[in-house]
Amino acid sequence: MDSERRNTATEFSYMLHRQGSDDSAEVHAFDDIKSLIKNDAGAKSDSLSSLPQAAFNYINSIVGSGVIGIPYAFHKAGFGLGLMLLILVAYVTDYSLILMVRCGHMCGRFSYPGIMEAAYGKWGYYLLSILQFTYPFLAMISYNVVVGDTLSKVLVRFMPTWGASMGAVRAAVVFVVTIGIIAPLCLYKNVSRLARASFLSLVCVVFILFAVVCKLISGEYNVVDLYDESSRFFSHRSGTQNSWEFANADIVPATGVMAFAFMCHHNTFIIYQSMRNASLDRWERVTHISLAFAWSVAALFGIAGYSMFRSLSQGDLLENFCWTDDLMNFCRVLFSFSILLTFPFECFVSREIVKTQLQRFITSELPELDKEKDPSQQTEDNDRHSMIITLSILFLAFIISPMTDCLGSVLELNGILAAIPLAYVLPGLAFIQLEPHSLYSREKLPAVALVTFGVIFTIAGEYFVFFYIIS
């Protein structure tokens, strides 16, 4: 009876929250993506998502730029171990996403910052803020790397003489795209229409997967040799050194790439609260379906890409294809388009975190955000401050991105420093703190295992990053 009363109480608390109650302290915790899209105060329950619609939104938030790095992760970990590791990461991610919603029901605060603040106070909130800034900021750098690499290859296809100065062409491409496309999109006040365009982003990724699989089946694909920068035909019989190894030593960076590919925890409560008749059972079902589909897409990218290029696999799969391959050049353009649709959301998250922390530093208290406020009604000062912060973030990302031409390194770094703690360590720690049972109880042991998994790979990753920097 006590458990039933407790469940009833949490469900009642949740319904109050969905109806717009501001009694919960959750109003003090920013909700990174949700604030981006203007709420419709007159929305009816009919506008909520059905289970299939919620699954589609879920899949859309997972499947993105990270999937093209899976062949590189297979190369790092070894093909056999990499495939097993991909299953493990998907399974652990599935559990952590379910755990986050359970934490929300326990504390009555349905946002990631809210549950961390409920569990560990202001220090939990600050830690999450740092990681939630790091993840999208490094993601923006990776997007600059992708757009610079892919579009520069397309330009060289039509302007072969530019191939002698690829570094300058790449930097110029990123500069023009940042000034002409990314900055105006990121400064746009009401980007709800961009949110609807996420369907096009998923369509682009699916088309690229279809093209990669077709290339594998046809057997006629050209590969850019990593050693002499020249194109050559890659025969199935030629083979490469260290190909088809079952296991390699670089398990930690491979895990970082995979964690980045499955990272969607900042969208968890947005999707959950958009569901019609939301409950833990329905959330578990939609999570299982979505993660299974996302794993299938990632596995197909990994298997197809690695089967073609093996130990030559790069962090950006499209970089392996010859510059004269027009189909893959078209895929490069599509992928860049997909990246441009995603970039404003990552920039918005970073901007809101910076604004929130500056306001908290100035006022010495956590600011209360008005989520119902129409973005078009911002004051001139707030508008100017947002513009300055946005342009500063974009400029910093632009300055850092030319320092690396390897997408794999950025994916590894983001996965190790931000994605793994955000996806595995913090949800487990929040559950351990909020769940009333003892640490070694049956209810908490899986969460302890989740935290242990995340901590081990985070510490090992920190060592990997330090070794990479000094070497």
| DSSP states of 62-109 | HSSGGGGGHHHHHHHH-HHHHHHHHHHHHHHHHHHHHHHHHHHHHHT-
User: Which range of residues forms the domain containing residue 289?
Assistant: 49-224+248-365+388-470
Position 5 pLDDT exceeds 60: no
With respect to residue 334, please indicate whether it lies within any of the assigned structural domains: yes
With respect to residue 78, please indicate whether it lies within any of the assigned structural domains: yes
What is the per-residue burial (b if ≥16 Cβ within 10 Å, else e) of 113-142? bbbbbbbbeeebbbbbbebbbbbbbbbbbb
With respect to residue 16, please indicate whether it lies within any of the assigned structural domains: no
With respect to residue 29, please indicate whether it lies within any of the assigned structural domains: no
**Do 424 and 92 form a contact (C-beta atoms < 8 A)?**
yes
List the structure tokens of 349.
Answer: 């998250």
Position 364 pLDDT exceeds 70: no
pLDDT attached to residue 110: 85
Strands 222-224 and 231-233: what pairing?
Answer: antiparallel
With respect to residue 178, please indicate whether it lies within any of the assigned structural domains: yes
List the structure tokens of 9.
Answer: 């109480």
The string of DSSP codes covering 15-53 is HHHHTT---SGGGGS--TTGGGS---TT--GGGSBPHHH
Position 191 pLDDT exceeds 60: no
The CATH number given to whatever domain includes residue 58 is 1.20.1740.10
Taking residues 142-169, report their average pLDDT: 81
Domains identified in the chain, total number: 1
With respect to residue 44, please indicate whether it lies within any of the assigned structural domains: no
Q: What is the DSSP letter of 179?
A: I
Q: What is the DSSP letter of 164?
A: G
Least Cα distance to 452 among 436, 465, 439, 466 occurs for: 439
> Which phi and psi angles does 225 have, rounded to 5°?
-70, 125
Lowest average pLDDT, out of 93-102, 170-179, 209-218, 349-358, goes to 349-358
Q: Which distant-in-sequence residues (6+ apart) come within 8 Å of 16 by Cβ?
A: 23, 24
Q: What pLDDT, in 10s, does the model give residues 274-302?
A: 788 888 899 999 999 999 999 999 999 99
**Do 112 and 265 form a contact (C-beta atoms < 8 A)?**
yes
Query: Hey, is 223 helix, strand or coil?
Result: strand
Mean pLDDT, the chain, whole residue set: 78
Q: Which distant-in-sequence residues (6+ apart) come within 8 Å of 18 by Cβ?
A: 273, 278
Could you give the C-alpha distances from 81 to 58, 70, 76, 148, in angstroms and in order? 27, 13, 10, 32
With respect to residue 236, please indicate whether it lies within any of the assigned structural domains: no
H helix runs in 219-250, sequence order: none
Position 16 pLDDT exceeds 70: no
Taking residues 26-55, report their average pLDDT: 52
pLDDT attached to residue 380: 46
Position 370 pLDDT exceeds 60: no
With respect to residue 397, please indicate whether it lies within any of the assigned structural domains: yes
Q: Which residue has the tokens 């391959």?
A: 325
List the structure tokens of 296.
Answer: 């299938």
Position 212 pLDDT exceeds 70: yes
**Distance, CA of 86 to CA of 81 (rounded, Å):** 9
pLDDT attached to residue 373: 40
List the structure tokens of 330.
Answer: 């078209």
Taking residues 47-61, report their average pLDDT: 75
Work out the pLDDT band at 15, boundaries 50, 70, 90: very low
Cα four-point dihedral sign 361, 364, 370, 373: negative
Query: Hey, is 172 helix, strand or coil?
Result: helix
Is 369 exposed, middle or buried, given 0-12, 13-18 or 19+ CB atoms closer than 10 A?
middle
**Distance, CA of 173 to CA of 163 (rounded, Å):** 13
- Beta-strand runs (E) in 99-228: 222-224
The string of DSSP codes covering 319-359 is GGB-TT-HHHHHHHHHHHHHHHHHHHHHHHHHHHHHHHHHH
**Distance, CA of 89 to CA of 1 (rounded, Å):** 37
Lowest average pLDDT, out of 232-241, 296-305, 350-359, 386-395, goes to 232-241
Q: What pLDDT, in 10s, does the model give residues 382-429?
A: 677 888 899 999 999 999 888 776 777 777 788 888 889 999 999 999
